[in-house]
Structure 1
Amino acid sequence: MAVAVPAGASAQERKSGPAEDGGQPDGDIIVTGRAQRLYRADTTTVGKAAQNPLDIPQALQVINSDLFTDQGARDATDIYRNISGVSFFSYAGVTFRGFRQDQSFYDGQRGNPFIGFSVPQLFNISRVEVLKGPSGLFFGPGSPGGIINYVSKTPADKPSLRTVATAGTYERIGISSEATGPIDRAGVVTYRLGGFYEAMTPYRRNTRSKSLIGDGGLSIKTNTGGKLTVQATIYDNDLPGNRLRGVLTDDAGKFLADIRWNANEPTDFLHLASRAYQARYATDIGGAVTFDAGVRYFASTETQQYHEPRGLVAGNRDLVAREFRDQIRDVDGLSFMANATARVALLGTDHKFQAGGDWYDETSVLHSRILRAGVTPLSLSNPVYTTSARDVARVSALPFTTTDTRTKRQGAYLQDQINISKAVLLVGGVRYDKFDDGVTTGTGDRVTARSAYDDGKVTFRAGAIYKPRPDASLYVSWSGSFEPQTAASQSTDAGGPFAPVTGGQVEGGIKTALFDGRLQANLAGYRIVRRNILQVDAALPPINGQDQLRPIGEVTSKGFEIDLATDITPDWVLMANYGYNDARITETTAGQAVTNAVGDRFANAPRHKLGFWTRYQFAPIGTAIGFGAEHVSRRISLSGQQVQPYTIFDASLTKSLGIVELLLRVDNIFDRRYAASGFSSQSGHFPGEPRSALAELRLRF
């Protein structure tokens, strides 16, 4: 029961007779023509309003469902290889233009239901929009590397039903289905229902995985050009033995154990239960004004009991020390937003005014108790697993430490895009944000610490675009971002309160959509400076046991990116990307390092990252083959250990069988053993998945 990977949506369905083309039966899925413009996007909403990417003076990418389908993508980690400047860090976190980033948006709003250590699923996502660089104007506080926006599938006017059965290595088995279409004859009300189930036993020892997702929505055409869409989604991820850390390595990055090694016992677990509800109203007002407003609410509970590796036992190169953690994380958030766009002629020039605001309130409560003494170490070479019963009983005698974090964000923006001529566009915008953060920590019934901070910040964005022809644009821009300091660091004992971390970027580039959009090639160069990063000031004595912090850290990130999506022939499509990044600490206190950095380098920030995917279709026999690769250069871990470079290859075959389509896919064809990212010397590097195979049988009506 869940959403099918929308393979059928990217094939052409037609009815034909024998006199026309050889007599394909009615309803057959024909692969002919599927390659053209397969992975391209003509419109994006990453700027809060539907817009041509050529008219945005900042690098961006849109990954659509066609690519999900061809690559058999299941979750967010499956698509990072398609995005220049983005590589895996940990769980749902990425390195984005040199900076660690964990924040995601859904349909332009805050409210990620995959909290903590779960990864966003793609089954109910129609596309992923990536805006690179500071995005403070439209999205408020955040990392200067960029943002990822997941755009949900919504009810469609055309009736359809898609079902997908899945099987693969690691005992993978699953089924998904979705139905959409009009409810009434006039098509005023449309619906979408979908469900997803998948279970597997991953390659890491003791791990199992079971995912359930249910999704439904209604769209109502309220007026001419107006539509109200309401949606509800529930998620249930049951992950025994799957609260994963890495595998320990030596300083050269060589694994000290089999990559199947796991610090978790068979009875350890992670369980995520989430629900998300949202409503969105959009309408045209006359011929020059559009308006949309949305509300989103989510509530998630993540429960976990697991063994955390704590590095090698002193004097023993085979035993890993462990501690046992019992944690419950409850997070809920409510978000509102509204945006309006107006096109007007003013003083002899055409203007596109955008104005909007958003509001977000989140509560995150972590209950945690940790058993540090008496936990049995685990061998790297010959691990012997039992159960967690003994550690569960012992940890239950400890009181929970509760960390209650409250986060509030309010912001409003205004932007003007001025068409000086058909070839020249100027863009300028300003935003004001107010934030209010607080953290209360207690053990049992006793409050041990409390801190709070509120402030406001103005963010700017400016750019210029020159279009020598309608399908090409040259641009330059400046954009800003900021992040409030963590509320826990705002204590007066630590020297607080402190102003936010700020980020500013200068970027220039070229975007093209040549040959009627069949060639989209983009080049961007950037320089980001991030300031006011807090560090311990060793020259000052501690106050009440707390080190004194000062905003004395600065980072400079420089690089360039190339993205290409093209039809080489009518049957052959190619998508490729390359990113170069050099992120360095440019200001710090002697002997100190900013968070996620070692010396003057950042953890998991590769200099070079390359990816490509190509697909060739043999239309007469209804078959297509795909082939791709990803290369990530050398990195360092949070502990300064080497993370070796890697290159992996993947392939797929798609075969049309009438109304059924078959996908066969192999990942990591040559079974390369590699580290997807580095973490710490205590918990090791995250190993990449060995060779795996996936088969999907897709049925579409």
Structure 2
Amino acid sequence: MVIASSAVNGRDHCECLAILIRGGAQVSFSRAAMIASVSVIAVPAFAQNGSQEPSAATDEIVVVGRAQRLYRVEETTVGKAAEDPMNIPQAVQVINSDLFADQGARDATDIYRNISGVSFFSYSGVTFRGFRQDQSFYDGQRGNPFIGFSVPQLFNIDRVEVLKGPAGLFFGPGSPGGIINYVSKTPRDETGLRAVITGGNYDRVGISAEATGPIDSRGIVTYRLGGFHESTDPYRRNTQHKSRIGDAGIAIRTNEGGKLTLQATAYDNELQANRLRGVLVDDDGNFLTDIRWNANEKSDFLNLRSEAYQARYATTIGDRVTFDAGARYFKAKETQKYHEPRGLVAGNPDLVVREFRDQIRPVDGLSFMANMTARVDILGMEHKFQAGADWYDEKSVLQSRILRAGVPPLSLSNPVYGQAEGDAARAALLPYTTTDTRTKRKGAYLQDQISLTDALLLVAGVRYDKFDDGVTTSTGGDATGRSSYSDSDVTFRGGAIYKPRPDISLYASWSQSFEPQAAADQNGDAGGPFAPVTGNQVEGGVKTQLFNGRLQANAAAYRIVRKNIVQVDPTLPPINGIDQLAPIGEVTSKGFEVDLTTDITPDWVLLVNYGYNDTKITGTAEGQSIINAVGDRFANAPKHKVGFWTRYQVPAIGTAFAVGGEHVSRRISLSGQTVKPYTIFDASITKSLGIAEVLLRVDNIFDKVYAASGFSDRSGHFPGEPRTFLAELRLRF
């Protein structure tokens, strides 16, 4: 690929001019004020840049050694403080915006194939080392604006950091499989402008633009402004998707080594004929009809509107101390009216039972965090002390009314739409059932990294967490139930790192995670309260950055045990009609992962990852099943997953050719139905056109029909996308 020479050092410093396209949608006053103020500020920066004489920096060259120069990451903040991945005693993967661009990635689902041990579950959820995981972090903080059933977009994301295994020390409650942290794009010191025009089949059309650079001549204040719009009519019947993002940020250099960054982002997703469920299958995993089938009417929809505001201050104190603090607030509202499939009509293998759901999900959350590191010499050994604290408060409400009687069924072989248009009006006569959930999290941690020698490091950390959960349910405004729960927990992490040479890191670690029990399970009549679900992992591995980063090979083996899963205890009689619970559930996940990124030649790069996982129920009450499991197996947890991508560029013609693929082995759905294995391939061509380049990409080259994941026998499997074409014209100045 041919790009401006400012990108040679491994970062595309040219961001984009913001074209904020609302597509007729209403823009709130706060959004408009934010956008307008940053736009005014941007004008002097462009005027200043425009007056400069052309320089050699605009000359085009072919970037070679992509693994070494573009994909290699020298540090990550997945552990809250900046750290070399070679010094982290757990498996870490970082996927940056350079790889997004090379692969044409648009949302989170496009990058899963690059991450060993991660596969698609549903919507924004993944299977992570065998466990279902729906939680995401932004810039190290809670506050995911893509609530419910929307998938995170990558337009304003600089890199995706993945910490595998328990992350309780840094992030508090969560799944033991790992966490995903999205790191936002921020204002940069170099002036840059980038625009992208997109087209493709299924009536895909889009435009996005970004701009960044200094506002004043000294570069004390910098800005970033971006806008994204894309619409498409996907392959599922009746569907249409429109997505818009407006993003703005200002960074102020407050002192030597210190910077304050302020950011605001608005998201607007309009999804017609959603919320999309799957397509029904038989027990062997064969679709019972065309994958275009959709239980939703054309008038059904899912709309998400959300906003996120963030402030982050980071500074160095001398040459041995760093400090950062952040605040993040988001509010989101997901409105959905849709037809939910409920399995086949008894005695008729062609008709699907449906119900109509009218749901509103407003969510808002506020989080704070602070972190400090200090390097101190004690008894001839360097200690890197790291301490931090975080606090999060979230209110999540679900208003739901469900119409079950009189909803017309839908044929699988010959669906006739339009006969259920009156369902929304009839559902509007029903009272809402409201579930109001309040969640509070606060915690503090301390870690010490001891350099015994230049080659041997020891790591030990401890964290304390306090959490408060409460749920109130009501129907028609009358409260029908209340439950609350407060508890605390302590988690630990320890590890050792040995570097026989600077580019090889051998490590072993033990880490913990925990998850509060559901507030509804803390009823005293049921035997509550109960201690949190815990996760413990033992992991060992090797990380390498050989030949100055041209060969990055990592391998890890792990064993995770998850305990204290609450289940009904059949040996105890009910109290006041409520079954007695006991923490008698246990799950064991074990496996290994291999990741390879290498420059085979200066013009040829290869990425390969493989993950093996075996997750089983190792403790349960007889005749019962742990959530997300069937028998002793976990749903959507493949034993084998392979992903690869290779890119070869021909400098003489300024063109790069790429091929990628993914294989996921057999799985089972939540209902125990087979989810058949699949292998798919993609390809792309990137051509330089001076200040522009063109990307042509085809996904699922052979148009394979497959299930990306399984769900239930009532709503079917989620089909994978058929063959799709994408073209991007990228302009960069």
**TM-score when normalising by structure 2:** 0.92
2:540 is equivalent to residue 502 of structure 1? no
- Aligned equivalent of 1:659: 691
Secondary structure of 2:448 counterpart: strand
What stretches of structure 1 of length at least 5 have no aligned partner? 1-5, 15-23
Distance 1:545 1:373, change over 3 A: farther
Does the aligned pair in 1 maintain the 2:225–2:249 contact within 8 Å?
A: yes
Q: 1:573 aligns with which of 584, 587, 605?
A: 605
CA deviation vs aligned residue, 1:547-597 (integer Å, no higher than 9, x gap): 332211000000000001111111111111000000000000111110000
Report the residue type matching 1:504 in the other structure: N
- Aligned equivalent of 1:261: 293
Does the aligned pair in 2 maintain the 1:28–1:659 contact within 8 Å?
A: no
Secondary structure of 1:205 counterpart: coil
C-alpha separation in 2, matches of 1:399 and 1:7: 59
1:35 shift after superposition? 2.9
C-alpha separation in 2, matches of 1:392 and 1:649: 41
Aligned length: 687
Q: 1:363 aligns with which of 395, 418, 422?
A: 395
1:458 shift after superposition? 0.3
Q: 2:66 aligns with which of 17, 31, 35?
A: 35
Distance 1:211 1:7, change over 3 A: farther
User: Which has the larger displacement, 307-316 or 538-547?
Assistant: 538-547
- Aligned equivalent of 2:338: 306
1:9 shift after superposition? 7.1
Q: 2:144 aligns with which of 81, 93, 112?
A: 112
Secondary structure of 2:154 counterpart: coil
Distance 1:426 1:665, change over 3 A: same
2:81 is equivalent to residue 53 of structure 1? no
- Aligned equivalent of 1:626: 658
2:716 is equivalent to residue 680 of structure 1? no
1:213-228 aligned at under 5 Å gives the runs 213-228=245-260
CA deviation vs aligned residue, 1:432-464 (integer Å, no higher than 9, x gap): 000000000010121111100001100000000
Q: 2:305 aligns with which of 254, 270, 273?
A: 273
- Aligned equivalent of 2:220: 188
1:36 shift after superposition? 4.9
Secondary structure of 1:373 counterpart: coil
CA deviation vs aligned residue, 1:85-104 (integer Å, no higher than 9, x gap): 00000000000000000000
Report the residue type matching 1:305 in the other structure: K
Distance 1:434 1:8, change over 3 A: farther
C-alpha separation in 2, matches of 1:444 and 1:363: 20
- Aligned equivalent of 1:490: 522
2:290 is equivalent to residue 251 of structure 1? no
Distance 1:522 1:224, change over 3 A: same
CA deviation vs aligned residue, 1:257-301 (integer Å, no higher than 9, x gap): 100000000000000000000000000001100000000000000
Q: 1:343 aligns with which of 352, 358, 375?
A: 375
C-alpha separation in 1, matches of 2:276 and 2:572: 39
1:416 shift after superposition? 0.2
1:373 shift after superposition? 1.1
CA deviation vs aligned residue, 1:152-187 (integer Å, no higher than 9, x gap): 000000000000000001100000000000000000
- How much is the aligned-residue C-alpha RMSD, in angstroms? 1.5
Distance 1:10 1:636, change over 3 A: farther
- Aligned equivalent of 2:415: 383
- Aligned equivalent of 2:355: 323
Q: Give every structure 1 segment of 4 or more consecutive aligned residues whose post-TM-superposition deviation is greater than 6 Å.
A: 6-9, 11-14
- Aligned equivalent of 1:373: 405
Identity of aligned residues (%): 75
CA deviation vs aligned residue, 1:513-571 (integer Å, no higher than 9, x gap): 11111111001000000000111223334444433322110000000000011111111
1:116-265 aligned at under 5 Å gives the runs 116-265=148-297
Does the aligned pair in 2 maintain the 1:11–1:34 contact within 8 Å?
A: no
2:467 is equivalent to residue 435 of structure 1? yes
Report the residue type matching 1:414 in the other structure: L
C-alpha separation in 1, matches of 2:182 and 2:7: 19
Does the aligned pair in 1 maintain the 2:5–2:57 contact within 8 Å?
A: no
**TM-score when normalising by structure 1:** 0.96
C-alpha separation in 2, matches of 1:27 and 1:189: 24
C-alpha separation in 1, matches of 2:526 and 2:295: 35
Q: 2:488 aligns with which of 452, 456, 461?
A: 456
Does the aligned pair in 1 maintain the 2:157–2:182 contact within 8 Å?
A: yes
C-alpha separation in 2, matches of 1:162 and 1:422: 43
C-alpha separation in 2, matches of 1:644 and 1:137: 37
Report the residue type matching 1:182 in the other structure: P
C-alpha separation in 1, matches of 2:215 and 2:419: 52
Q: 1:585 aligns with which of 604, 617, 620?
A: 617
- Aligned equivalent of 2:425: 393
Does the aligned pair in 2 maintain the 1:281–1:294 contact within 8 Å?
A: yes
Does the aligned pair in 2 maintain the 1:293–1:339 contact within 8 Å?
A: yes
C-alpha separation in 2, matches of 1:133 and 1:8: 38
1:42 shift after superposition? 1.6
C-alpha separation in 2, matches of 1:344 and 1:295: 28
Q: 1:602 aligns with which of 634, 648, 657?
A: 634
Does the aligned pair in 2 maintain the 1:614–1:626 contact within 8 Å?
A: yes
Secondary structure of 2:357 counterpart: strand
CA deviation vs aligned residue, 1:605-653 (integer Å, no higher than 9, x gap): 0000000111111112111111110000000000000000000000110
Does the aligned pair in 1 maintain the 2:5–2:61 contact within 8 Å?
A: no
Secondary structure of 2:77 counterpart: coil
Distance 1:302 1:568, change over 3 A: same
C-alpha separation in 1, matches of 2:212 and 2:176: 38
Report the residue type matching 1:118 in the other structure: S
Report the residue type matching 1:337 in the other structure: M
1:388 shift after superposition? 4.6
- Aligned equivalent of 1:293: 325
